[in-house]
Structures are given as structure tokens and as C-alpha cells.
């Protein structure tokens, strides 16, 4: 049994310790919002937060994150930054097929959490590990800027 | 595959125009709701109006989509068309994927087959869904007229509310739905004039955005059924290899592995979860007989094609007397172009869930070719096609891969279920490497082009020879192979729009290469637009003409091409010099225009080259004529995405074989464009009153030639192969 803290809840799972967090989330805990794209930390589709840090779940064995705080796309609306990012994504109709977008959003939320006013270069740095085969990149960039503006407004208000 | 003329069609005309297809009724929801890619589910009593529409007593309007949503915005676009004629309130509109039933849901451009492809979803549905919306609106009006005892002609409908001004009566759709659904379908219902559109041509938000930003959207990869097993398969290392035997002992020792079975395409390991199945698969010991396997590499295939190109092929198009024009030429220009195999590499690798049921079988899939897959699965199980029930889920991209003429991965999933006698539902999961090496690539092609300039300096002759495998031969679409010419091998080349008096286009179709090939976003145009448009720039250079001016000179009979070309040139500032780059860099600007799927797109690309030949595309200005843009923002989004998709291929895309083995397995060896490489894309839509034409694919073909022409302008070197090679572009 391995004990995981996912989206604020403690969960006991019975999987081999080398099982990547990705498959534990998807197959065991039925949290299927986190996606499989490559299994080798090459695409970012599986991005989750471990103690707030964006992490590729496909190469992270569950044994390495036991007891740490894991959050996934399913809980992203629990935070102000997460809600602002989702709202910007919807307003600009960023998504196409949508398969990469959980990972994109998790990376964007991590960026805006530590950097409230990212430049284009900051966005390139934070987001270039997240592939989008539909190439929605122009809108991803615009949506991050928009979310940043809205968060700044919220703060003033 | 011509579009029926269906603009402003009456219902009678509609019924005749589409070969007797009816707006069949479907009162009851046919599928388990949880399993469908649907947007919003109404718990309220719901009433069917026709095969494409249900209205519930809570006012929700459910549009049934016969087409797959794979990112191209189809669900939103189709709903927009129906909601327009229905005068629905957009906030109440939801979408649900249609079941597999070609009698109601066939692609009107394909005859009696249901499926999504060729950028036809909006175009073939335009008249059908307008009629579906307009007749339902008439039924609502008739029900209100009866209830209020007023003449129907005095009733108006707006945003989901039916009103009679004189008596000040109003009813929402939900209040009328039950009675209206009993009304007879009226035969002659007028459709709106485009000037009266309220939704079409405006910005309707995507209906699938909400579920795609919170992880709720259901893809095949996400399906979990009670008792379901996950299968990961060991496939042959080379095409044509035969399994001699295998040892599953180590695989069976992996915790979680339930069963190991041989299937025609390899050995499947079944487990309770994906990771265990993968570990089991990796632990298999396999003995392949490769005596008769294909062992050539792509270099050897290309060398063969170049030899073939020295001999005449089957003539796909001729005009005037090409050879005479070359005999008389003052100057002849020649160029060759090589195009690699390309993988679709959809973000969601191929996968499929199949369950044997008492009625036949049930499938969950990002379903792109319903009818073909129904027949293929019926063949596996020895049942009838209509016993194959298909749940069409969201697809995490496809770019053509899921419309597989051989139903490859769908059949593989079914074969696994068959091998375990249907004891459990099975989710077949292809890992990225299985997907990358799974074949069905955009075919490798070689093109040879020649142009003859006459003594007066005119472009008098054009000879274009293509060598590459056929996609359609041996497929259910074989009817499109005429006199040995596969129409999609030469599309974009055989119908070159330029007024050149003497032309010949011929084709070699090698049949001894077993690498499976398939349509890849924009199909033949993915290579023909490149060779023709890059060669034309080389011709323009030799003639001392401006690339835009030469094209406009030659496009007299093609006003749509000319119009998008002018628009793109104007918006890009073609008449002004391009700003210089940083010291040590070279900058260039290039143009290309191409028609595909009945839409015309022109693009102007601005490119900066570093001294080491590294290519950076800074900006791409696009002009599009796709008829009426049902959802202009989605048209922009598709073209932006097409630019990024095509640039991936131009910079990196290449599936290479070495000794018959596909070398790339994952994104390290088959790179995809990243956000820092994405150019600024501007999309300008030409206003149009014509019926909608395709938009999912037409943004792809002009991109690579526009970039190549920009490279040519900056360096004097026009790349003769894709992907580009930086080492050939050093300062
Ligand atoms: S699936 Fe983890 S990075 Fe691709
Ligand atoms: S939206 Fe399709 S891969 Fe990103």
C-alpha cells in the first residue's frame, strides 16, 4: 500500500512502487484528466503539481511522491490562479482537440503562481515542454497574458 | 464527391438533392449517456424532432453531430448551423455524437458511408442542418399557432422564444417541444437569407471549451468499464515479419497481468491497468521470422523513386503539347523535390475499447470512419455491420490517422477481444512508440519538375512527374483511382491553376513497397503544393519577375486564388521592403497560394536565418476563402493550428526507415513544434456568400512552400527536400 495525497485527500493505493504517478492517477484513482502522451517526459501532457512544482507524472514513480501534496487538473479550480487560467482559456477558445490542454493549464498555473507578469520569454521557458499537436500556441500565449492581466485587476479591486 | 447545390433549398428539394436521405426520427436516446462525448446532459423529458435535433422541456436544445470532434471545431460549427435556422438561444445549445448509422448519418459527399474527413463536415452538412433547423422551427410555430389559435404567419421566433405580438403571447421552446414534436414535417420551409443570420458568421464560443479545461472531456483513453482489461501489444519489428513463437512466462509473472494472447498483428498482454500491461509486453520474448520481411531503408526507397522518375509515368493531366514547348524553349528550368514519410502523431495515441455484447459488439473510439469500421468489426466477429454499435468519443487529434481504410487498430482491439472469447471488455492502448511505428504514414514522394520559357520570355511549358505510393489502391475508396491514377496522389498538381499553355503531369505508383500509407492532413496537397509553388518561385526568379506578380498574371481564370493572394500580399505589406534582421542574420519573405478541399488559402511567411542555417519563422500572414465562414473565430483557429502543424513537418517531420525498421519512436526523434518556435499568425477571411467549403486542412499546404520561398529570397537556395536541413543553409 502506498499513501498518496491527491487534491487534498489521502488515498491508499495498491500498486507496484515503480508505477508512474500518471497511471496511478488514471487507472487506479480514476482521475483521467491527466493525460498520457509519450511516457518519457517529452510532451508535458501528464503535468501535475507536486508540492506546487510542475512535474511530469509519467516518469515519477509513486514511491517518490508518497506523502507529498499532489494536485491535478481536476482540482485546478480550487485556486484563484487556476480559475483565472481556465477563464482565459475559455474566453479565447484556446482548445482544439483538448488532449494536451490539462498539461498546458497545469504548466501555465505553475508559471503564474510564481510570476504574476510573465514576459513572452518567460512563457517560452515555462511552456516549451508542453507539446500541442494542434499547435494552439498562439492562443496559449495570449491566454496566459490575459490571465495575468485579470489576476492583476483582481488584486487591485 | 461534388457538393450538391443546396443553398436556400426547400425541404422537398433537400430530400431530392441528397439522394433520398431523410431527417429520420430518433425519439429515444440510443446510448448510455455516460459513454458519449456530449456537451451538457439534460435530465428533463426530451423530444426528438429529427435525426439531428432534440429539444427538452427545460429548453435545452441538443444537436446530434454525425461528425467526429477531433479538435477542428465541428461540434460547435454544426450546432451553429442548425441553431441558426431554428432561432435557438445559443446558451441552451448542447451537442451529442451520433451513433453509427449510415442510413441517417452518412457523409453526403461520400455516398452511403458515415465518416469525417476531407474537410467536409461543415460543407456537406450545411444544407442538411439548415433544413433540420428550419423544419423544426416550423413545427414549433405550428404547435404555437394551434395552441394560441392564431395564424402561423403572424408568429415570430427569436433566441428560443416563440411569440405572437398581436395577442402578446410567448412560449419558450421547452414549453412547446412536446406538442411540436408531434407536428408533421412541413414540406416547403424557406431558409434564411444570409443577411438575416444571427449566429452564422458571428463569434459563437466553442461548446467543448469548458470540459477541455477541467479534465472532464472524455477521450477513448479515459474509458473505464466494469471488468475491463487493458491490452498493450508487441508488434512486428518489420513489415512482413511473421511470428514463429513466443515465451510469455516472464510477462505472466508481472503483477497485474491477466492473460497473454496471440493475435494476427502480434502478441497482446492483458492486465488490469496500463502500466502492468506495458511491463508485461516488455517482458515478452518473441521469435520473429523475418526472412520475407521488408528490409529497405528510406534512402533506398528514394533512390528507387529517382530512377523511376527518369521514365515516363501514367499521364494524369495534359494540355497543349508539352514536349513541343520544351523543344522550342529558349530556357529550361529543372528541379527535384523529396518528401519523407510523415506520422500523424496525434497527441492521443491510437486506442480503442471493444466489448462483446449479446447484440453483437460495442465500441468506444474517436470514431472517424463509422461505416468502414462497422464492416471490419463485423468481419472479425462474424456478425452483421449493424450489430456493431459505436460510441463516438472526442478524439485527441487525428489528422487523418483515425480514418483508417483498413481499420487497423480498431480491428486489433477486436481481435484481442475475440482471442479471449469476449470474456472482458478490452481497452487497446498503443504507447507512443507503437503509434509512431504503426505505419499508415503520409507517403514518401519524389517529384521532378521542368519549365520551358519561350523566346518571348513567357512560361510556355510545364512537365511534372510524381513518384509515390497510392493511398486509395486496395481501400474502400478505390473508385477514385481512374486509369491507374490515384486522384489524391496528383491533387494540387494535375489541377494546377496557372495558365500555362502546354502541360503534362504524370505519375508512377510503386506497388512493391509494403509501408502502409494514409491521408495526412491535406493529403496530396501536403506535397504537391510544395513542389509546384517552390518551383514557380524558381521560375519567377529565372524570368526576373516578382513572385506575386507572376502568379497574378497566370491566375486569370481563378479569381478566388487571385483574391486571397492579393489580400495576403496587401496585409503582409508585400510592396514594402522587409525589415532587416539583427547583424549576422538573413531575412526573407515568401508567398504561396493553394486550393484544397474547395477552399483557397494564400500565405506570406517572413523568415530569419541565423549564420548556422537555423530557421526562425517570424510571421505568417494568411488569407482564406472558405465560402461563408460559419464561425470566423474557428476558421482563424484552424488556420493558426494548420500553420504550426505544417511548420512542424517542414522543420522536423520525417519518418525514416533503416533496414526496414522505423527509427523514430517518440518525440525526441520525431520532434513537434514547440511554443517558442510558433510564428505570429494573422488570418484574414475573405467575405463570401458562397456555401461553406473546407477549413480543417486547407491552411496546411501553402505554409512549407511560403517558408521555402522566403528561404530562397534570403539565401538564393530553394530547399529541394523536406524537412529543411540547416546545414544546407549556412551563411
Ligand atoms: S506523458 Fe509525460 S511528458 Fe509526455
Ligand atoms: S489541443 Fe490538440 S494537442 Fe493541444
DSSP conformational letter for B615: E
Question: Do A94 and A40 fall within a single domain?
Answer: no
Are A12 and A69 found together in one domain?
A: yes
**Full domain range(s) for residue A35:** 2-75
Which parts of chain B sit beneath pLDDT 50?
1-37
Q: Is the dihedral of CA B551, B555, B558, B564 positive or negative?
A: positive
Element holding B526 (H helix, E strand) = helix B525-543
Comparing CA positions, the residue from B110, B17, B19, B29 lying closest to residue B64 is B29
**Where do the H-state alpha helices sit in chain A?**
21-23, 62-65, 80-91, 101-114, 120-127, 137-156
The count of structural domains within chain A is: 2
Closest chain B C-alpha to A103 CA, distance in angstroms: 10
* Inter-chain CB proximity A138 and B645 less than 8 Å: no
Q: With contacts defined as CB-CB under 8 Å, which chain B residues touch A27?
A: 224, 230, 272-275
Cell numbers representing residue B467 in the block: 513518384
The secondary element (H helix, E strand) that includes residue B274 is helix B274-282
Task: Give the separation between CA B83 and CA B629, rounded to whole angstroms.
Answer: 15
Query: Do B214 and A76 count as a contact with CB atoms less than 8 A apart?
Result: yes
CB-based burial, B461-488: b 16+ in 10 Å, e otherwise: bbbbbbbbbbbbbebbbeebbeeebbbb
Of B678, B657, B652, nearest to B667 by C-alpha is B652
Ligand 2 midpoint to CA B74 (Å): 15
Q: How many CB atoms lie within 10 A of CB B14?
A: 24
* Stretch 135-154 of chain A: residues touching chain B, C-beta under 8 Å: 135-141
Check whether residue A57 and residue A109 sit in a common domain.
no
Cα(B731)–Cα(B729) distance, rounded to whole angstroms?
Answer: 6
Computed from CA positions of residues B148, B152, B156, B157, in that sequence, does the dihedral angle turn out positive or negative?
positive
Work out the minimum CA distance from A155 to partner chain B, whole angstroms: 23
Q: B146 preceded by cis ω (within 30°)? A: no
Q: Which three cell numbers stand for residue B123?
A: 460543407
DSSP secondary structure code for residue B92 in this structure: G
d(CA B428, CA B236): 17
Angle between the B173-182 and B121-148 helix axes, to the nearest 10 degrees?
90
**Chains A & B: contacts with CB separation below 8 Å:** 184
Q: Give the model confidence (pLDDT) of A75-119 as tens digits.
A: 999 999 999 999 999 999 999 999 999 999 999 999 999 999 999
Using the structure block, give the residue that is written with the C-alpha cell 487497446: B428
pLDDT at B28: 30
CATH number at residue A41: 3.10.20.30
In angstroms, the separation between the Cα of residue B530 and the nearest Cα of chain A is 21
* Run of H or E including B96: strand B93-97
Predicted confidence at residue B33, as pLDDT, reads 33
The predicted pLDDT at position B40 comes to: 52
Q: Mean pLDDT across the stretch A38-59?
A: 98
Q: Which residues contact B650 (CB under 8 A, 6 or more apart)?
A: B703, B704, B707, B708, B722, B723, B724
User: Cβ contacts (< 8 Å) between B208 and chain A: which residues?
Assistant: 95, 98
CA distance A134 to B71: 7
- The reported pTM is 0.94
Q: Is A89 within 8 Å of chain B by CB?
A: yes
Query: Is the CB of B627 inside a 6 Å radius of any atom of ligand 2?
Result: no
Shared-domain flag, residues A83 and A146: yes
Q: Any idea which residue has 429520420 for its cell? A: B24
Kindly give the distance from the C-alpha atom of residue B685 to the centroid of ligand 2, in angstroms, as a whole number. 23
Is A46 found in the same domain as A6?
yes
In a shared domain, residues A20 and A87: no
Q: What Cα–Cα distance (Å) separates residue B608 from each residue in A119, B617, B623? A: 22, 6, 22
Residue A9 makes CB contacts below 8 A (sequence gap 6+) with none
Q: Do the beta carbons of residue A62 and residue A19 sit within 8 Å?
A: yes
- Residue B318, classed as helix, strand or coil, is strand
Query: Which of A54, A75, A96 marks a domain boundary?
Result: A75
Residue B645: closest CA among A98, A38, A134 = A134
- The CATH number for A99's domain is 1.10.150.120
**Do the chains contact at B217 and A15, CB–CB below 8 Å?**
no
Binned at pLDDT 50, 70 and 90, residue A144 comes out as very high
Q: Are residues A96 and A49 in the same domain?
A: no
Please answer yes or no on whether A124 and B634 come within 8 Å at the CB atom.
no
Whether A90 and A69 map to the same domain: the answer is no
Q: Among B363, B373, B366, B353, which residue's Cα sits nearest to residue B396?
A: B366
| Residue A42 and residue A55 in one domain | yes
Last residue of a domain, one of A29, A46, A75: A75
Residues A93 and A142 in one domain: yes
- Summarize pLDDT for B240-295 with one digit per residue, the tens: 999 999 999 999 999 999 999 999 999 999 999 999 999 999 999 999 999 999 99
Look at strands B657-658 and B426-429 and give their pairing: unpaired
Domains within chain B, CATH numbers bracketed: 11-214 (3.30.365.10), 220-291+350-429 (3.30.365.10), 298-341+442-728 (3.30.365.10)
| Strand-pair category, B242-247 with B155-158 | unpaired
**A101 close to ligand 2 (CB < 6 Angstrom):** yes
Per the CB < 8 Å rule, is B675 touching A43?
A: no
Distances (CA, A) of B687 to B563, B674, B692: 11, 32, 11
pLDDT at B43: 62
> Which residue among A75, A97, A118 closes a domain?
A75
Question: Which ligand is the nearest neighbour of the Cα of A135?
Answer: 2
pLDDT digits (tens, 9 = 90+) for B305-344: 999 999 999 999 999 999 999 999 999 999 999 999 999 9
To 10 degrees, what angle do helices B703-715 and B632-651 make?
50
Say if residue A87 is in the same domain as residue A151. yes
Judgement on whether residues A53 and A109 belong to the same structural domain of the protein: no
Q: What is the ipTM of this complex?
A: 0.98
Contact across the interface for B72 and A96, Cβ inside 8 Å: yes
CB of A20 closer than 6 angstroms to any ligand 1 atom: no
Residue from A38, A99, A107 whose mutation best tests the ligand 1 pocket (most atoms within 8 A of CB): A38
Distance CA B331, CA B461 (A): 11
Verify whether the Cβ–Cβ distance A28 to B273 is below 8 Å.
yes
Residue B112 pLDDT:
85
Query: What pLDDT score was predicted for residue B3?
Result: 31
Q: Which of A22, A96, A106, A131 to mutate to test the interface with B (most CBs of B within 10 A)?
A: A96
Q: Which of B211, B675, B682, B695 to substitute to test the interface with A, most A CBs within 10 Å? A: B675
Nearest residue to B353 via CA among B428, B415, B417, B421: B428
Amino acid at each position: 500500500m502506498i499513501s498518496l495525497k491527491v487534491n487534498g485527500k489521502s488515498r491508499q493505493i495498491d500498486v507496484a512502487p515503480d508505477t508512474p504517478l500518471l497511471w496511478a492517477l488514471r487507472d487506479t484513482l480514476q482521475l483521467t484528466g491527466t493525460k498520457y502522451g509519450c511516457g518519457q517526459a517529452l510532451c508535458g501532457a501528464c503535468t501535475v503539481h507536486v508540492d506546487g512544482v510542475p512535474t511530469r507524472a509519467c516518469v515519477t514513480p509513486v514511491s517518490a511522491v508518497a506523502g507529498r501534496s499532489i494536485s491535478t487538473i481536476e482540482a485546478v479550480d480550487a485556486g484563484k490562479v487556476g480559475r483565472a487560467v481556465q477563464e482565459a482559456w475559455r474566453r479565447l477558445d484556446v482548445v482544439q482537440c483538448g488532449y494536451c490542454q490539462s498539461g498546458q493549464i497545469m504548466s501555465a498555473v505553475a508559471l503564474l503562481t510564481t510570476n504574476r507578469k510573465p514576459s513572452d520569454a518567460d512563457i517560452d521557458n515555462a511552456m516549451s515542454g508542453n507539446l500541442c499537436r494542434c499547435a494552439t500556441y498562439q492562443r496559449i500565449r495570449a491566454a496566459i497574458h490575459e490571465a495575468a492581466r485579470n489576476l492583476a485587476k483582481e488584486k487591485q479591486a | 464527391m461534388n457538393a450538391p447545390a443546396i443553398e436556400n433549398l426547400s425541404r422537398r428539394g433537400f430530400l431530392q438533392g441528397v439522394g433520398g436521405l431523410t431527417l429520420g426520427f430518433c425519439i429515444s436516446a440510443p446510448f448510455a449517456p455516460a459513454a458519449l462525448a456530449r456537451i451538457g446532459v439534460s435530465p428533463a423529458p426530451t423530444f426528438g424532432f429529427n435525426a439531428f435535433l432534440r429539444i427538452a422541456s427545460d429548453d435545452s436544445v441538443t444537436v446530434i453531430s454525425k461528425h467526429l470532434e477531433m479538435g477542428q471545431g465541428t461540434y460547435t460549427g454544426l450546432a451553429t448551423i442548425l441553431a441558426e435556422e431554428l432561432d435557438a438561444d445559443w446558451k441552451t445549445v448542447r451537442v451529442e455524437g451520433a451513433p453509427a448509422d449510415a442510413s441517417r448519418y452518412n457523409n453526403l459527399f461520400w455516398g452511403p458511408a458515415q465518416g469525417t474527413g476531407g474537410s467536409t463536415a461543415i460543407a456537406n452538412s450545411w444544407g442538411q442542418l439548415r433544413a433540420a433547423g428550419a423544419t423544426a422551427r416550423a413545427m414549433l410555430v405550428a404547435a404555437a399557432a394551434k395552441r394560441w389559435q392564431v395564424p402561423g404567419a403572424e408568429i415570430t421566433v427569436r433566441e428560443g422564444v416563440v411569440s405572437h405580438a398581436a395577442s402578446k403571447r410567448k412560449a419558450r421552446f421547452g414549453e412547446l417541444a412536446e406538442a411540436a414534436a408531434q407536428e408533421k414535417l412541413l414540406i416547403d420551409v424557406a431558409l434564411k437569407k444570409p443577411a438575416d443570420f444571427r449566429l452564422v458568421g458571428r463569434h459563437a464560443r466553442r461548446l467543448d471549451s469548458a470540459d477541455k479545461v477541467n479534465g472532464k472531456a472524455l477521450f477513448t483513453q479515459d474509458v473505464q468499464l466494469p471488468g475491463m482489461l487493458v491490452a498493450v501489444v508487441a508488434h512486428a519489428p518489420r513489415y512482413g515479419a511473421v511470428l514463429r513463437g513466443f515465451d510469455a512466462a516472464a510477462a505472466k509473472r508481472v503483477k497485474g497481468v491477466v492473460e497473454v494472447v496471440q493475435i494476427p498483428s502480434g502478441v497482446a498482454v492483458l492486465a488490469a491497468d496500463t502500466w502492468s500491461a506495458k511491463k508485461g509486453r516488455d517482458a515478452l520474448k518473441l521469435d520473429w521470422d523475418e526472412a520475407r520481411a521488408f528490409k529497405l531503408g528510406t534512402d533506398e526507397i528514394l533512390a528507387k523513386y529517382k530512377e523511376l522518375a527518369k521514365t515516363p509515368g501514367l499521364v494524369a493531366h495534359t494540355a497543349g503539347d508539352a514536349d513541343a514547348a520544351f523543344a522550342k524553349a529558349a530556357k529550361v528550368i529543372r528541379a527535384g523535390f523529396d518528401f519523407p514519410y510523415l506520422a500523424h502523431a496525434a497527441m492521443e495515441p491510437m486506442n480503442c475499447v471493444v466489448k462483446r455484447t449479446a447484440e453483437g459488439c460495442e465500441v468506444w473510439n474517436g470514431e472517424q470512419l463509422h461505416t468502414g469500421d462497422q464492416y471490419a468489426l463485423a468481419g472479425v466477429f462474424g456478425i452483421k455491420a449493424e450489430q456493431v454499435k459505436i460510441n463516438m468519443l472526442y478524439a485527441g487529434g487525428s489528422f487523418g490517422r483515425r480514418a483508417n481504410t483498413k481499420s487497423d487498430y480498431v480491428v486489433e482491439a477486436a481481435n484481442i477481444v475475440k482471442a479471449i472469447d469476449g470474456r472482458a471488455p478490452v481497452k487497446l492502448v498503443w504507447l507512443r512508440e507503437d503509434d509512431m511505428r504503426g505505419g499508415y504514414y503520409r507517403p514518401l514522394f519524389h517529384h521532378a519538375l521542368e519549365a520551358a520559357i519561350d523566346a518571348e520570355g513567357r512560361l510556355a511549358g510545364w512537365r511534372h512527374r510524381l513518384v509515390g505510393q497510392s493511398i486509395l489502391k486496395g481501400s474502400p475508396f478505390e473508385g477514385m483511382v481512374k486509369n491507374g491514377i490515384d486522384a489524391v496522389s496528383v491533387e494540387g498538381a494535375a489541377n494546377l491553376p496557372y495558365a500555362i499553355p502546354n502541360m503534362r503531369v504524370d505519375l508512377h505508383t510503386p506497388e512493391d513497397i509494403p509501408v502502409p500509407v494514409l491521408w495526412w492532413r491535406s493529403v496530396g496537397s501536403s506535397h504537391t503544393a510544395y513542389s509546384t509553388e517552390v518551383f514557380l518561385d524558381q521560375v519567377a526568379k529565372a524570368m526576373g519577375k516578382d513572385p506575386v506578380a507572376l502568379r497574378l498574371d497566370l491566375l486569370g481564370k481563378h479569381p478566388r486564388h487571385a483574391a486571397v493572394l492579393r489580400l495576403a500580399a496587401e496585409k503582409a505589406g508585400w510592396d514594402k521592403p522587409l525589415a532587416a534582421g539583427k547583424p549576422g542574420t538573413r531575412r526573407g519573405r515568401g508567398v504561396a497560394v493553394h486550393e484544397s478541399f474547395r477552399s483557397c488559402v494564400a500565405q506570406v511567411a517572413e523568415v530569419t536565418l541565423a549564420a548556422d542555417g537555423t530557421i526562425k519563422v517570424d510571421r505568417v500572414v494568411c488569407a482564406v476563402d472558405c465560402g461563408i465562414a460559419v464561425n470566423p473565430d474557428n476558421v482563424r483557429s484552424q488556420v493558426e493550428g494548420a500553420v504550426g502543424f505544417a511548420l512542424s513537418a517542414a522543420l522536423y517531420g520525417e519518418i525514416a526507415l533503416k533496414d526496414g525498421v522505423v527509427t523514430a519512436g517518440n518525440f525526441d526523434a520525431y520532434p513537434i513544434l514547440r511554443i517558442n518556435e510558433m510564428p505570429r499568425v494573422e488570418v484574414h477571411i475573405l467575405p463570401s456568400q458562397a456555401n461553406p467549403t473546407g477549413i480543417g486542412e486547407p491552411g496546411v499546404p501553402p505554409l512549407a512552400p511560403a517558408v521555402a520561398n522566403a528561404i530562397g529570397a534570403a539565401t538564393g537556395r530553394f530547399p529541394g527536400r523536406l524537412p529543411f536541413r540547416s546545414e544546407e543553409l549556412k551563411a
